[in-house]
Amino acid sequence: MTRSAGGTTSDGIPSSDALRLPVLAALHALGGTASVGELTAKVVAMQGYGPEVTTPIHQGRVTKLAYRMAWTRTYLKLEGLLANPSRKQWSLTSSGAAALKASDGGTAPPAAQPASPTAPGGSFPTQAAISRAAAPRANGGKPLALELPDPPCQAKLREIAARVRQMRARDIRISEEDTKRVLITPVVEALGWEIFDTDEVRNEYRHATADNPVDYALFLARSPVLFIEAKALGQTLDDRRWMVQTLNYANVAGVDWCVLTNGAEYRIYKVHARGEAEKKLFQTVTLEDPDGFDDACRLLGLLTRERMRGKAIDELWEAWHIDRQVHGVLDSVLQDDRFVALIRQRLPGVGAADIRRSLRRANIRIDYPPMFRALAVSVPDVTGTNVPLVDTMVKRDVLAPEAPHRKRDAVLEQVHDIGDAPGVEAPRGKPQRTAELFALGRLKAGDVLAIKGRPGSEAKVINGTTVDYRGQHMSYLAWGKAVTGWKAIQIYAWATLPDGRLLGTLRT
């Protein structure tokens, strides 16, 4: 199904995007408030739609026009142009009225328009004008908010997440093709992409004849904006070949964002970020963790058609990327002799050696507010820089952008194996590790820990580096991986204390 210049698709039904202005104009003509039925009837009358548009069925008794108009209302509500004060009742907001006026003076265009010389279809300049009039300004210094996607999207994602958990519980092995059909394509559709419109979604897409095909290519204004490479459910995404393959597909096509997924886990990459492949990883989420579901929705919500069009993910990446760089510089400043000299200027009676010893005793942390509403903790990357983590939904921690995944486990094991010998102190400016927590008495022998949401995962603390799990002594990290089956785990964000608090809350 393809979209014509007028905003209809090949089946003759207007797309949800093409219905944006007609919905606003109809609601304006109805005095600003109307029921769903009244609004639909007014759109049909103003646009002159005939039976060929109003009667084709989408599913059950729901017509294709009603289905797409429902998505249109949802998108407009998400953008603040419509309000839904009561069930089946919709109203035009002041922002919606302003956007409508800015677009065409408050009157709706005919159902089909001649093509614009500056856009691929007559309806598109009008839709762009709506977006420009309504778009929030993200450069005003306020924190970037990451909101949940609309309720229909959440409901569909929740259904898919339940399907993943059911398959895991039954140990069902499915092929890559079945994974795409049963898990991934429904996610793409839930995110608002018209999966039957080849102007928006293409499978096995080749940017050039000689290119290798990518499983999904998502388009805006006839240009690819997001590639999705699929693997079978149950297949690990840790093989570096898959990451490089996906990045190469997108890079060749000039696409800035790509996703690698097995239907349960989604890894989102910024293709043209500087540095080696691992540094391009933005975030990783898993749909199957019930505790982190809302956060997974928030992140996947960045990939909705509307938010990709508004470049919300680019703004968030930019803020996150800059914050990480500034964070690293601030952390290194604490170890700089010039910082020591600055303190000496303020404390002329204290020597440089005493200041350095004081800084080593200090537990200075530099944290940014979490990007998501999940718990944020800090771990060092291999360069010693504190990196804030968002880990109620991210099982592959943010060490991944800083070091190849094949080195990460070894680095974390070394951190946990520093021992509990007398005199061991926390590295300067770093949160304590389990060995330091044990030495400080915050973690005690005999304490029982568990992995969040995993019944039967209890382990008894032996010392600062070792726990007893089902009669076997192992490191904290090895225990967490044994319980979850994951290749890596940020133990401070998943291990819980007897009172329900996370292990990370013991760190200062």
User: pLDDT truncated to tens, each residue of the chain (508 aa)?
Assistant: 444 434 556 678 898 888 989 999 999 999 999 999 899 999 999 999 999 999 998 777 888 898 888 888 877 886 778 988 776 789 998 888 888 887 754 443 333 333 333 333 333 333 334 433 344 434 444 444 567 888 889 999 999 999 999 998 888 889 999 999 999 999 999 999 999 999 999 999 998 888 889 999 999 988 999 999 999 998 889 888 889 989 998 988 899 999 999 999 999 999 998 888 888 898 888 888 877 788 889 889 999 998 998 888 888 888 777 777 787 777 677 767 888 888 889 998 999 888 888 887 876 766 665 554 332 323 333 333 333 333 323 333 333 333 333 333 333 333 333 333 333 333 344 567 888 888 788 898 999 999 988 888 999 999 988 999 999 999 999 999 899 888 778 898 889 998 888 898 888 6
- Give CA–CA dist 244/258, Å, rounded: 11
Taking the model in full, what pTM does it have?
Answer: 0.47
Residue 186 and residue 130 share a domain: no
Closest C-alpha among 490, 385, 365 to residue 434: 490
- Give CA–CA dist 166/163, Å, rounded: 5
Residue 457 and residue 336 share a domain: yes
Examine residue 8 and state whether it is found in any structural domain, yes or no: no
Examine residue 124 and state whether it is found in any structural domain, yes or no: yes
Query: How far, CA to CA in Å, does 482 sit from each of 328, 388, 391, 460?
Result: 32, 25, 18, 15
- By CB atoms closer than 10 A (0-12, 13-18, 19+), residue 235 is middle
Examine residue 10 and state whether it is found in any structural domain, yes or no: no
Does residue 202 sit in helix, strand or coil?
A: strand
Residue 181 and residue 71 share a domain: no
Residue 97 and residue 36 share a domain: yes
Residue 448 exposure: Cα atoms within 13 Å on the Cβ side: 7
- Single residue among 134, 164, 179 that ends a domain in this structure: 134
Residue 304 and residue 325 share a domain: no
Residue 256 and residue 402 share a domain: no
- What CATH number is associated with residue 91? 1.10.10
Largest Cα separation within the chain, whole Å, is: 89
Examine residue 361 and state whether it is found in any structural domain, yes or no: yes
- Single residue among 287, 310, 333 that ends a domain in this structure: 310
Residue 295 and residue 169 share a domain: yes
Query: How far, CA to CA in Å, does 414 sit from each of 344, 363, 384, 490?
Result: 35, 21, 13, 14
- What CATH number is associated with residue 183? 3.90.1570.30
Residue 332 and residue 249 share a domain: no
Residue 481 and residue 344 share a domain: yes
Examine residue 363 and state whether it is found in any structural domain, yes or no: yes
Both tokens assigned to 141: 């210094």
Examine residue 110 and state whether it is found in any structural domain, yes or no: yes
Examine residue 142 and state whether it is found in any structural domain, yes or no: no
Residue 167 and residue 80 share a domain: no
Question: CB under 8 Å, gap of 24 or more: what pairs does 303-307 form?
Answer: 303/191, 303/226, 303/257, 303/259, 303/268, 304/149, 304/153, 304/191, 304/192, 305/191, 305/192, 305/193, 305/200, 305/218, 305/220, 306/75, 306/78, 306/79, 306/192
- Give CA–CA dist 199/292, Å, rounded: 33
Residue 205 and residue 107 share a domain: no
Residue 130 and residue 54 share a domain: yes
Domain count, the chain: 3
Does residue 191 sit in helix, strand or coil?
A: coil
**Domain encompassing residue 42:** 20-134
Do the beta carbons of residue 70 and residue 6 sit within 8 Å? no
Examine residue 286 and state whether it is found in any structural domain, yes or no: yes
